[in-house]
A and B are shown apart, each in its own frame.
Chain A
Amino acid sequence: MVPSYIPLSYYLLLSGFLFACGVVGFLIKRNIITIFMSIELMLNGVNLSFVAFAAHWHALAGQVFVFFVMVVAAAEATVGLAIIIAVYRTRETLNVDQVNLLKL
């Protein structure tokens, strides 16, 4: 197997792009589920940079950390989806602009 060498910056650019997509999606979408997916996208963007750095520096810690992030993200997805269902049941909408009871 020929060791293919891809420079670190490629990974970082992709990671940044994914993260930016997540941010933009978070900001412009109204549907809660889409927003939720954008969060996952951001997390995975970050994960990618972790792994890339881990490989680059031959350090294992970054990879270990990614596992932590994935576990937390899974837990968060569970709780998040439960909240979304609860919101939908009470408000009958998934539009965040209408879920604004936090306002004074």
Chain B
Amino acid sequence: MNPNLNLWLIPVLPLAGAAINGFLGKKSSRQAVSTVALVFSGAAFAMALWVAARFSSLSLPYQEFVAHWIRIVGFRADFAFYLDQLSLVMLLVVTGVGFLIHIYSVGYMWDDPSYYRFFSYLNLFMFFMLTLVLANNYLVMFIGWEGVGLASYLLIGFWFTKDSAASAGKKAFIVNRIGDFGFLIALFLLIKHFGSLNFDQVFQSISPLGAETAGAGVLTAIGILLMVGAAGKSAQIPLYIWLPDAMEGPTPVSALIHAATMVTAGVYMVSRSHVIFERAPTALAVVAIIGTLTAFFAATIGIAQTDIKKVLAYSTVSQLGYMFMACGVGAFSAGNFHLMTHAFFKGLLFLGAGSVIHAVGGEQDMRKMGGLRSYIPWTFLTMGVATLAISGIPPFAGFWSKDEILWKAYQVSWVYWGIGVFTAFLTSFYMFRLFYMTFFGDYRGASAAAHDSHASETHGHGEPHESPMVMLVPLMILALLSLVGGLVGIGNNFEHFLAPVFGTTEAVETASHGTEMLLMGVSVVLAALGWILAYVLYCSRPDLPQKIADSLGGFYQALVHKYYIDELYAALFVRPLIEGSTRILWQDVDRKIIDAAVNDSGDGARQVSDEVRRMQSGNIRSYAGWIAAGSAAVIAFMIWMGVR
């Protein structure tokens, strides 16, 4: 029998913080607001640690019932929580990275007039994300799922007076609706065929079923629809377009929501539903193909971007693709391993980018940076660690998780591996490109003197300057995690830890240990090649990239414009929708039918009245005449009825 852990407190604590800051924050001081935000998110983290400490003594999965929700004949869903190895990993990542980013935001957002609003939203996000992670049925998960979408919308559009931020928020929300639609239909199918949304019951009734063969079945449909939902939330092809635009939000938001936690919700959901996917090979193949393609395409786009946050955004899309590739080849634990390490190093990269942007006074264009390593040494060092980690250089965290994925992918098909390892090369290249463009060479920003003359009006930015300690400490902690975070994967420890959830998949090792080492060597060599190429192009011979870009011509332009996907969607979906709404729905249906019906009935009433009002002549005898005529009509009617 399990002790009562009061798991419900973990999500509710940040909710309380959000409420306090949301209702009272406007009149409180910044110190008070940040204290509330940090105490409540920190308490959630502390409690997650406490749960982790007691974890080994629990009989798993630990379930906790909180309140009734829906109870009708044949279906019930309660507010209840579910804790197993998978949710524990997510729990620690979300609360841990989330808490660090809260600390960082204290420094980053200090000068913002809507300080309290930011922290209220950030805590609200934590509440929904933890609900998503800890849910014990798909419906509670869906609350969290929609809630993080809401928080994401609010935070992307945080600077809503800026037009681009407002529309980026809308874009994220609307694109996510498409994915959520798929998710919702999958839930309806689950209710229809299995009569429940509880993880336990659903998986119990699915487990005895055999794998569906090439022909589609219910599980395949559910799997693909779940993947549609995951593609929306986790920014996969074809719904990834919202994530790069989401960079309009404050940088800590990009780090927390659009790199470390929310966008991984799709991976978590697919992993949680592994019982379904394992029995639907077609759906699983769809996951793998989408993941692989996304990883590759996003990486190629990342090469040509010049906005530091856009590079990281495409990198995130690409890394999420890796995670889906892992899930798609059935290596769920490898996918979640990468999810965890990615949360560390990508969170760090975004926070580092925020520190860089902070240092140069709000500039995001890498072409106007350069040579920053002497100005902001701590940011330089920590970002260096993160860059090494994401590029897959051993022994940093990304190497272990990415290699695990590539190894598992190779066992299913060498095509996945090939594309994956080439993407790793691209990753290494664009990350070191970012690194060299930002930190090496000469400072290409506005000259220091010019800065000084504006110093009093702007934020007091003279020379690029290092961020305050409150921002640097989270960077250092994350750098440490990026350095050692991968070590938990040595000897398949991480996989063994998650084995009770996913089952043991390592029984079938189709390739030998030697092959694994060879493949590992190949990916490290390619990563190193990407590093060297970036060094040559962006450090030692900075004139070369322009020449290469010129010689590539159209292809380069396509990369810069992200393959014109936004334009394509605009032409295919957005413009027909606007045109259709304008011409047919507004000008035809609304104005010619609905408005016309209202106006015509009004006009008709007036015209009839114009005629009828002649009856009211003011002439007593005509009134008497009408009375007489009316009486005569009534009598006639009665006689007629009587005769009948």
Contacts and interface: CB of A to CB of B under 8 A. Distances in A.
Interface of A: 23, 26-28, 30, 35, 96-97, 99-104
Top 3 A-B pairs, shortest CB-CB distance: A103-B618, A100-B618, A102-B618
Contacts of B618: 100-104
B624 A27 contact: yes
Given A26-B621, A35-B620, A99-B620, 14 more contacts: A27-B621, A27-B625, A27-B628, A30-B621, A96-B619, A96-B621, A100-B617, A100-B619, A100-B620, A101-B618, A103-B616, A104-B613, A104-B616, A104-B618
Interface string B345-371: 000000000000000000000000000
A104 B618 CA distance: 8
8 contacts: A26-B621, A27-B628, A35-B620, A97-B619, A100-B617, A100-B620, A101-B618, A104-B618
A100 B616 CA distance: 10
Contacts of B628: 23, 27
Contacts of B617: 100, 103
A12 to B, nearest CB: 14
Nearest to B623: A102
Contacts of A27: 621, 624-625, 628
Interface in B612-642: 613, 616-621, 624-625, 628
Contacts of A28: 621
Interface residues on B, range: 10 to 19
A80 to B, nearest CB: 13
Contacts of B620: 35, 96, 99-100
A72 B617 CA distance: 29
A25 to B, nearest CB: 10
A30 B624 CA distance: 12
B623 to A, nearest CB: 9
A100 B618 CA distance: 5
Contacts of A104: 613, 616, 618
A100 to B, nearest CB: 4
Contacts of B624: 26-27
A70 B35 CA distance: 94
A93 to B, nearest CB: 13
Nearest to A30: B621
A72 B613 CA distance: 34
A67 B613 CA distance: 40
A21 to B, nearest CB: 13
Contacts of A30: 621
A99 B619 CA distance: 8
A96 to B, nearest CB: 5
Nearest to B618: A103
Contacts of A99: 620
Nearest to A38: B624
Contacts of A35: 620
B154 to A, nearest CB: 58
B628 to A, nearest CB: 6
A99 B618 CA distance: 8
Nearest to B619: A100
A28 to B, nearest CB: 8
A4 B616 CA distance: 51
Interface string B598-621: 000000000000000100111111
A96 B617 CA distance: 12
Contacts of B619: 96-97, 100, 103
A87 to B, nearest CB: 11
A26 to B, nearest CB: 5
A101 B621 CA distance: 14
A28 B619 CA distance: 12
B632 to A, nearest CB: 10
B448 to A, nearest CB: 84
A28 B453 CA distance: 102
B633 to A, nearest CB: 14
A35 B624 CA distance: 11
Nearest to B617: A103
A96 B621 CA distance: 8
Contacts of A102: 618
B635 to A, nearest CB: 11
A36 to B, nearest CB: 12
Nearest to B632: A23
Q: Among the interface residues A26, A28, A35, which one has the most CB atoms of the partner chain B within 10 A?
A: A26
A96 B620 CA distance: 7
A92 B613 CA distance: 29
Nearest to A101: B618
A70 B620 CA distance: 25
Nearest to B628: A23
A23 B631 CA distance: 11
Contacts of B616: 103-104
Nearest to A29: B621
Contacts of A97: 619, 621
B624 to A, nearest CB: 5
Nearest to A28: B621
A97 B613 CA distance: 18
A14 to B, nearest CB: 19
A42 to B, nearest CB: 11
A102 B625 CA distance: 16
A49 to B, nearest CB: 14
A28 B628 CA distance: 12
Interface string B573-613: 00000000000000000000000000000000000000001
A23 B625 CA distance: 9
Contacts of B613: 104
A39 to B, nearest CB: 10
B114 to A, nearest CB: 60
A40 to B, nearest CB: 15
A28 B625 CA distance: 10
Contacts of A103: 616-619
A28 B621 CA distance: 8
A27 B628 CA distance: 9
A94 to B, nearest CB: 12
Nearest to A99: B620
Interface in B449-475: none
A83 to B, nearest CB: 12
Interface in B20-79: none
A56 to B, nearest CB: 20
